[in-house]
Amino acid sequence: MVRKKVKLAYIENDSCRRVTYRKRVKNLVKKTRELSVLCGVDACAIIYGQDEQAPVVWPSSEEEAKRIISDYNSKSELDPSQRGFNQYTFLNDSVIKAKERLLKLQRKNREKQIANMIGFG
Amino acid sequence: MVRKKVKLAYIENDSCRRVTYRKRVKNLVKKTRELSVLCGVDACAIIYGQDEQAPVVWPSSEEEAKRIISDYNSKSELDPSQRGFNQYTFLNDSVIKAKERLLKLQRKNREKQIANMIGFG
DNA sequence: CGGCCTATGTATAACAG
DNA sequence: TCTGTTATACATAGGCC
């Protein structure tokens, strides 16, 4: 959205599309992190790239995922009724399971790559 | 990030935090959609607001979720080996299940609210 | 609180090497 | 193709109703 007002449509040119993809993923992840920190909410971003083996996921660090899982578990202990089948725990559960699985799948070098990509810190 | 370079830290003031939350969620969802359309990739954003019943989720429309599920199913039919336990289908499966569940949970008025919030279209 | 405004910081399309 | 630069559009903090 700059030297020309780009219309919201699939970018046909492969080269342009990939450049745009990398730039935008980087900032999408950055924004997700900012929202989470600034507002103290849990947020999650998942992007399935075209050729990439694993999707880009945030939160991706072990620390972050552990914190979220830990929060969830401690809440459940405090109030067992929260384990019931309601919308909130239901959805949280799905996301947490996905996160747990992702944790196992992520490779150290992949994490470093993404961290570097978004200019982590 | 404007009339003052806001530091990346939890916003203590309740009122400011909620205003920032609404503004940023709106744009995060918009950006997620843009990335998805421009680059032809599947992307997903989930934000657990503080007081909201349901998380803000994108994609949230029935059409979009159906398209993704349909894509997945047709791929599986074409190549049953893809159903095997590998990273790609594994992760897709998790996300799709989450989306299917979200579909059932979403209320029409909630959708309208979000659509309006992000200035859909 | 919920919108709207606007000055300013950011994101990014196009370009250059 | 990827990385760096730059000009311009976009996002948004702080005000004001």
**pLDDT tens for each residue of chain B, 121 residues long:** 666 777 889 999 999 999 999 999 999 999 998 998 999 888 888 887 766 666 677 765 444 544 544 554 454 444 333 332 233 333 444 455 444 544 444 444 455 555 666 665 4
Give the closest-approach CA distance of B59 to chain A in angstroms: 11
Judge contact between A83 and A72, C-beta under 8 A.
Answer: no
Enter the tokens of residue A66.
């552990």
Query: Check: CATH 3.30.9.10 for A11-74?
Result: no
Half-sphere exposure of A60 (CA within 13 A, CB side): 26
The shortest C-alpha distance from A37 to chain B (Å) reads 6
Tell me the pLDDT tens digit for each residue of A21-36: 999 999 999 999 899 8
- What residues of A are in contact with residue B87 (Cβ under 8 Å)? 53-54, 105
Cβ proximity of B29 and B118 under 8 Å: yes
Residue numbers in A near B9 (CB within 8 A): 37-38
- Separation of alpha carbons B65 and B97, rounded Å: 10
Q: Does A102 touch chain B (CB under 8 A)?
A: yes
Q: Which residue from B8, B87, B90 is facing A34, i.e. has the nearest CB? A: B8
Q: Which of B12, B48, B87 to mutate to test the interface with A (most CBs of A within 10 A)?
A: B48
Beta strand extents in chain A (DSSP E only) = 42-48, 56-58
- Asked if A41 lies within 8 A of B27 by C-beta distance, the reply is no
3-state secondary structure of A31: helix
> Is it the case that residue A94 has pLDDT exceeding 80?
no
Determine the Cα–Cα distance for residues B4 and A70; give it in Å rounded to an integer.
Answer: 35
Strand order in the sheet with B42-48: A56-58, A42-48, B42-48, B56-58
Q: How far is B117 from chain A (nearest CA, A)?
A: 16
What is the residue extent of each domain of chain A? Answer: 11-74, 79-121
